[in-house]
Amino acid sequence: MQHRGVTVWFTGLSGAGKTTISHALADKLRSQGCKLEILDGDIVRENLTKGLGFSKEDRDTNIRRIGFVAHLLTRNGVIVFVSAISPYRAIREELKEKIGDFVEVFVNAPLAVCEDRDVKGLYKKARSGEIAQFTGISDPYEAPENPTVECRTDLETLEESMAKVMKTLEELGYLTAE
Do residues 36 and 30 lie in contact, with contact meaning Cβ atoms separated by under 8 Å? yes
- Residue 136 inside a domain? The answer is no
Per-residue model confidence (pLDDT) at position 178: 67
**Domain encompassing residue 151:** 2-109+142-176
Among 15, 12, 1, 37, CA closest to 166: 1
pLDDT (average), residues 167-178: 91
Do residues 2 and 175 lie in contact, with contact meaning Cβ atoms separated by under 8 Å? yes
pLDDT (average), residues 155-166: 97
Q: Rounded to 5 degrees, what are φ and ψ at 10?
A: -90, 115
- Residue 55 inside a domain? The answer is yes
Does the model's pTM come out above 0.85?
A: yes
pLDDT class of 171 with cuts at 50, 70, 90: very high
pLDDT (average), residues 82-99: 95
Do residues 36 and 81 lie in contact, with contact meaning Cβ atoms separated by under 8 Å? yes
- Residue 119 inside a domain? The answer is no
- Residue 114 inside a domain? The answer is no
For a pLDDT cut of 70, what percent of the chain falls above it? 99
- Residue 28 inside a domain? The answer is yes
CATH of the domain at 76: 3.40.50.300
Number of folded domains that form the chain: 1
Which positions are catalytic? 86
Rounded Cα distance, 117 and 14, in Å: 9
Structure confidence by residue, pLDDT tens digits, 2-53: 899 999 999 999 999 999 999 999 999 999 999 999 999 888 878 877 778 7
Rounded Cα distance, 114 and 104, in Å: 20
Structure confidence by residue, pLDDT tens digits, 126-143: 888 888 888 888 888 999
Structure confidence by residue, pLDDT tens digits, 50-71: 778 778 888 888 899 999 999 9
Do residues 5 and 73 lie in contact, with contact meaning Cβ atoms separated by under 8 Å? yes
